[in-house]
Amino acid sequence: MSGVVWSVSAALFLLGLAGVALRRQLLAMFLGLELMVLTAALALGCTASLSGRGEGFVAALLVLAVAAAEAVVGLVLILRVRSSGRPAETQSLRELKG
Amino acid sequence: MSSLPPAALLLFLAPLAALAAAFFIMRPWKPQWTHVPILISCGVVTAAAAYLAAMVYTGRGADVTLYTWMFAGKWSVPFGVRIDGIGVSVLCMVALVGALIQLYSVGYMKGDPGFSRFIMLLHLFYLSMIGLLVSNNYVQFYLFWELVGACSYFLIGFWSHKEAARKAAMQAFLTLRLADFGLMLAVLLIIVQFRDTHFALFHAVRFFPSMYHPLIGLLILWAAAGKSALFPLYFWLPDAMEGPTPVSALMHAATMVTAGIFLLVRSWPLISAVPGLPGLIAVVGAVTAIFAAVLAFTQTDLKRILAYSTVSHLGLMAFAVGLGQITAAVFHLVTHGFFKATLFLCAGNIAHASGKSAVSVSEVGGLWRRMPLTFAAFAIAAFSLAGIWPCAGFFSKDAILDAAFERGGWAWAAGLAIAAASAAYIFRMLFLTFFGPRPEQSPARSLHEAPPVMAVPVAFLALGALAVGWAREDLVAMLFCGRQSAVAAPSLPELAPKVAAAGLGLAALAAGVVFALTMGAPSWDWHWRRRRPGLAAAFAGDLGWRRVVAGFVARTLRVADVVGRVWDHETWDAAIEKTATACRALSRGGSAMASGGLSESLWWLMIGAAALLAWAGLR
Amino acid sequence: MIPWFAVFAGSAAVAFAALMITRRSLYSAAVCFLAVIFQLAALFYAVGARMLAFLLLLIYAGAVAVLIVVSINAAQEGSEERRRWNQPAFSRGLIAAGFLPPLLEAVVLLARGGTAPAQAAPIGDLALGLALFGPYAAAAEAVALLMLFAALAVVGKPEASR
Amino acid sequence: MTQGALTILWLLPALGGLAALAGGRFSRWIALAVSLAALAYGFWLLGPLRTGVVAAAPQAPAWAFGIRYALFCDGLSLSLCWLTAFLTAACVVASWKKDYSAGYWAAFLFLEAALMGVFLARDLFLFFVFWESVLIPMFFIIGLWGTAGRRHAAMKFFLFTFFGSIFLLIGSVALVTLQHSATGVWTWDMAQLKGPEGRAGLMIFAAMALGFAVKVPIVPLHTWLPDAHTEAPAAGSVMLAGVLLKMGVYGFLRVLWPLFPRLSWQMLPLLGLLAGINVIYGAFCAMAQKDLKRLIAYSSVAHMGFCLLGIVSRKPEGLVGGSLQLLNHGIITGTLFLLVGFLYDRGHRRGLGDYGDLAGRAPWLTFFFGFTTLASVGLPGLNGFVGEFMSLLGMARTWSIMAVVGVAGVTLAAAYALPAFQAVFWGAPGPDSVSALVYDLDAREKGLFWVMAALMLAIGLYPGPLLRLLEPCLLGLAQ
């Protein structure tokens, strides 16, 4: 059981990662990001289930909660970028250039 | 020997005092009177020289160290004075001729703006030449040797606005410098070999054979060749005529150029110890004498003819030294000083009168009526140069011819050739300058006799050119008493009548032939130049030797340019500068990594993570 | 024995995740994201964390997915982005495909009376709740505060420049 | 001679520098007073030096790892201190009329202090500290008050020398640690340090020699010199050529020879060859230059080659001759740079072709330039010859081929120095020449150069006193 879940979560994690890496729009990357976090929570939950006690899932729950908070902030940032009149794409956001 | 004779000190102090007075007092106060202290010092020096000659003549030489100049550890170099036969005899000639020429130059340079500078420079040269003659070791000799070279640079280039004068001065100094390379190296090797450079110690030198000997001898010959204009390095002397005539007379006839021969005579013990060297010196001397005589015959400028004649006579002196006859060489050196100075001063009179510094043969002619005194002096000196009987030249040249006759073979032939050739070019100059103006010649109207201040020294010198020969025995006696300097130098050979007759006959024959040629219908002198311009150009360029020298100079400058510009600046320095730009490029490359793009940084993140995972996995 | 339920849910999730990345239009991506969340909830359920599956659906399907669609809309104020990124009419097939697997799973679950086939022993939700407010109370409180601040971010003052 | 007496010698200019910084309008007067005071004090030190060659034992407590504040002074150090003080005073007088800020005068005094420190340091660490601190004022002198390309030149100068001194530091640290591991005692005192044998010794010798070589400069590492000289202000060039180049040779003489007596003697072929290359390479480069200051810079490379020839020969004549040549070169090149500086003040050009026929317009400038050129060429009777001759003699007794190279260098010296003199002072003025702007020297400048000329003549004809001062401390190094 856990083998399947872990392989699924690994696959999903990599897909999420690919999503972030390959897409140029911020929102698409955001989705990939969320996916990665959820997959991590899933893997955490799965291992927690092996221990048979309830505490394990607390961590998974908290991860979910934090991910939700992060999602909100992420979306606000993206909106803030758009509202300042710039396309929400990675190419245009080069302020950090060394 | 005995304590230092005061006269010897005077030789140094008088000129130094005069120069100081002239530079600090006369020049700012009354520049046109700067020659007063200078002429006084000349008088004092001549008197001192005469006194020293008398002293040496009566058998009391001197070799005293004034103070220790350089020292380190066990080695030290003294600064001293040496009064001995050779030194004093040449000293007398230099002192007298120098004094007369400086008197003459007062008249000659009267109007020149740089008058005081000229007089002082000439006197500084006078001092250094005298210093050279009385110094008692090689290092001190080298000091005055270089000082004389430096003075010649400033005097040849005195009229520095003239391009030719500047070029000639530079050429002269660098050639002398090239020659001094030999002397400095020789002095170094002498010190390495004998720990001391005192002239006195060289008597017993033949008993320490060592591998450095031939090298030292060759280097000394190389230095003498440079200074006394022997074959390889003679080309600077004819160009040095760009300087004012008193300079040419004093330096490039009587004194400076004889320093090389003086060096050979001073180091005769060293040279005679090296087997093949005297022979080489004789060959070099003979070649120079004949080569220069031929060139003198084809020159058109008065002073250049005399310059080549000086080169020829220096070759003759070297020839005499090479034959082992250093007494004959010194005797000829003294007589040559007198008659060559007279010839130059006569040329100076002509140039001064015509207002130009260089007078060519076609601008003179038939001057015997307008400049009688100059003509008379010139004639005496010309006879002396050609070796005609009453004049001094006859005795000294005859001594050399005797030595050549004894050596026989090629030496005798060379001696006769030199005698004939020197008679030829001097009579050509005499006829062309003073006898009836040839159709091709157009003497300037303003040619008239020189003012007394110039005429009197010329007269005295002509008298010297006449009388010195007769003082033959006294000079020989002086050479041998006093300090025992020469290693058993053979005494002057007796006047063999046969040799004298041969010499005189040749001189007369040459005079007749030249008279026919120059005074003939179409004057030969211009005739062959028109018909054979190529040949004329070849002779003008010293038969190609000038191109060789110019090539050498050009090659050195090219090497300097390659080393200086190409190697140093464009490759090596550029390489170092490039390291700087390379670092900057590296930093720019580095900053490109931080491109601020989200995706790029993510890629780097993943690569890093993957690497870490792989490493963790492998361990 | 092979946990078919988990395998099915997993493969559906992977399929939809792949679709999500490759869709040109953001709306389609959002829908695929929603589908993935459903499958993840199913997986959570398979693993035995029923409460978590429920919470996941509650938080993500409910709030975050909506928020995403809203911001996609907000980010497209007209001009050519809208046309290029997402045609308003995204393919209906996609929606259907998206909701088909959850339906099937729901049916299976209902048929089996609440226990997924080959599912690990379910952990008491009560234990989870007690643990949440027992030893991990501080963590729960911190996360609660975090979510409050996140909410403040939304309220924050908009760009002065506009 | 107590430590305190020596400390005053370098502390005086340092404090003077601070005073000059605060001096504002009077800083040039302070600079003049302090530099003359330092010179006078230097000469006064001759008395105590007569009694004891090496200063009293250092009383200062060991700071850490055996590093302690220790100075000492013998003939060589004192003469170089005189040279520093004399040239600094000359620089102050020379740049009197220029309206430089207070920092300029202070920089010269700090430079003098640091240089004195280098020549007096007995502790290797202290020697290194002073060695580095010399760079700072010199960097500012070139960087702030130089001519057009000064920033580039200052940076190049600083980095080049800094690169060298890193090796010096590595060598010193390695030396001390090896000594500590061998003897168990931490000491940086040059007197007690002894270079290890074998490969380690060779590595340390090479590192420290590289550090000194950059400063000498030895040919491959010399390219900072021409740039630094062309861009430095006149007085800056004087100090740069006059004293900074001496630090390199002083380093060989004071640090390397005593520490590695046998190894440095075995390194004679390499060092002698490098010195010979210095002489010939420097001469040929000088011949190819069109800029007067670059030409003098390359001539300095050649002259330092002579010093090195003398020092490397390890014969009494060579050592004393080389050290004397350090002083001579300082005076000659200092004067040359002052003259070029004055020429630059008038015509604002340094090119050989930019002037011509100055003899008529500025006779005194011509006289002094000609006089100094002759001294630089090595005319006997002036001080250039004495040092060169004794150095070449030393080399002739060790490795005669290098002496031949040296004498060839002397001959080449005339080939680059005189054409330069002739192009500037005698040549016909070119189309764009600025000879019209040049006016003759004023009383101050003439006075300065009369002192220099008198010094050159005196050392040239009667070097006795200086030789007596230098000889005792160098005979110990003879091989």
Co-location of B559 and B517 in the same domain: no
Residue D406 in contact with residue D302, Cβ under 8 Å?
no
DSSP helix/strand/coil, B66: strand
Examine the pLDDT at C159 and tell me if it is beyond 60.
no
- Partners of residue A93 in chain B, C-beta under 8 Å: 596-598
Co-location of B602 and B477 in the same domain: no
Nearest-by-Cβ selection for A79 from C43, C74, C136: C74
pLDDT mean over A61-81? 88
Co-location of B559 and B494 in the same domain: no
Show which of residues 75-104 on chain C sit within 8 Å of chain A, judged by CB atoms. Answer: 75, 77, 81, 85
DSSP helix/strand/coil, B85: helix
Q: Name the range with the highest mean pLDDT among B4-18, C75-89, C147-161.
A: B4-18
Query: Which of the four CATH numbers 1.10.3720.10, 1.20.1440.230, 1.10.287.3510, 3.10.20.30 does domain A2-83 have?
Result: 1.10.287.3510
Q: What one-character-per-residue DSSP string does A29-65 give?
A: HHHHHHHHHHHHHHHHHHHHHHHTSSHHHHHHHHHHH
- Residue B391 φ then ψ, to 5°: -85, 165
Co-location of B606 and B510 in the same domain: no
CA angle D456, D458, D460 (to 5 degrees): 65
Is chain A touching chain C, with at least 3 CB–CB pairs below 8 Å?
A: yes
In this complex, the chains that touch B, judged by 3 or more CB pairs closer than 8 A, are A, D
CA neighbor of B347 nearest in space, from B95, B112, B516, B108: B108
Beta strands in D389-432 (DSSP E): none
In this complex, the chains that touch A, judged by 3 or more CB pairs closer than 8 A, are B, C
Query: Poorest-confidence range of B520-534, C8-22, D386-400?
Result: B520-534
Say whether B560 and D287 touch across the interface (CB within 8 A). yes
Residue B344 in contact with residue B253, Cβ under 8 Å?
yes
Show which of residues 27-86 on chain C sit within 8 Å of chain A, judged by CB atoms. Answer: 29-30, 33, 36-37, 40, 43-44, 46-49, 51-52, 55-56, 59-60, 63-64, 67-68, 71-72, 74-75, 77, 81, 85
Q: Does B604 touch chain A (CB under 8 A)?
A: no
Nearest-by-Cβ selection for B146 from D321, D379, D386: D379
For residues D296 and D292, what is the distance between their CA atoms, to the nearest angstrom? 6
pLDDT mean over A23-47? 89
- Partners of residue B593 in chain A, C-beta under 8 Å: 98
DSSP helix/strand/coil, D119: helix
pLDDT value of position C84: 55
Confidence at B410, pLDDT banded by 50, 70, 90: confident
Say if B1 falls within a structural domain: no
CA neighbor of D244 nearest in space, from D214, D285, D210, D282: D214
End-to-end CA distance of chain D: 29
* DSSP state letter for A25: B
Domain residue ranges in chain D: 1-266, 268-479
**D188 vs D122, D168, D192, D201, D210, CA distance in Å?**
9, 14, 8, 16, 20
- Partners of residue A97 in chain B, C-beta under 8 Å: 594-596
Closest chain B residue to D319, measured at CA: B72
Residue D88 in contact with residue D109, Cβ under 8 Å?
yes
Co-location of B108 and B217 in the same domain: yes
Residue D197 in contact with residue D78, Cβ under 8 Å?
no
Query: Poorest-confidence range of B99-113, B324-338, C102-116, C134-148?
Result: C102-116
Domain residue ranges in chain C: 4-123, 124-157
The domain of B270 spans 6-540
| Site of tokens 């989200």 | B598
Residue B407 in contact with residue B413, Cβ under 8 Å?
no
CA of D92 vs chain B CAs: smallest distance (Å): 27
Co-location of B399 and B448 in the same domain: yes
Q: Does A15 touch chain B (CB under 8 A)?
A: no
pLDDT value of position D372: 95
Confidence at B398, pLDDT banded by 50, 70, 90: confident
DSSP helix/strand/coil, D56: coil
pLDDT mean over B439-452? 80
Nearest-by-Cβ selection for D426 from B160, B174, B559: B160
pLDDT value of position B206: 66
Q: Does A29 touch chain B (CB under 8 A)?
A: yes
CA of A55 vs chain B CAs: smallest distance (Å): 28
Examine the pLDDT at B150 and tell me if it is beyond 60.
yes
* Of B515, B540, B565, the domain-final residue: B540
Say if B112 falls within a structural domain: yes
Residue B71 in contact with residue B27, Cβ under 8 Å?
no
Examine the pLDDT at D38 and tell me if it is beyond 60.
yes
In this complex, the chains that touch D, judged by 3 or more CB pairs closer than 8 A, are B
pLDDT value of position D93: 92
pLDDT mean over D435-460? 89
Closest chain A residue to C85, measured at CA: A25
Spell out the alpha helix ranges (H) of D184-256. 198-215, 224-231, 234-239, 245-251
Domain residue ranges in chain A: 2-83
Q: Choose from B65, B68, B75, B572 for mutation: most chain D CBs within 10 A.
A: B75
CA of D201 vs chain B CAs: smallest distance (Å): 29
* Percentage with pLDDT > 90 across chain A: 24
Q: How many domains does chain B have?
A: 2
- Partners of residue B161 in chain D, C-beta under 8 Å: 357, 428
Say whether D403 and B184 touch across the interface (CB within 8 A). no
pTM of the full predicted structure? Answer: 0.83
- Partners of residue B599 in chain A, C-beta under 8 Å: 21, 24, 90
CA neighbor of D84 nearest in space, from D144, D129, D41, D55: D41
More confident residue, B320 or B494: B320
Confidence at B589, pLDDT banded by 50, 70, 90: confident
Nearest-by-Cβ selection for C71 from A23, A39, A78: A78
Show which of residues 59-98 on chain A sit within 8 Å of chain C, judged by CB atoms. Answer: 60-62, 64-66, 68-73, 75-76, 78-80, 82-85, 87-88
Say whether B602 and A96 touch across the interface (CB within 8 A). no
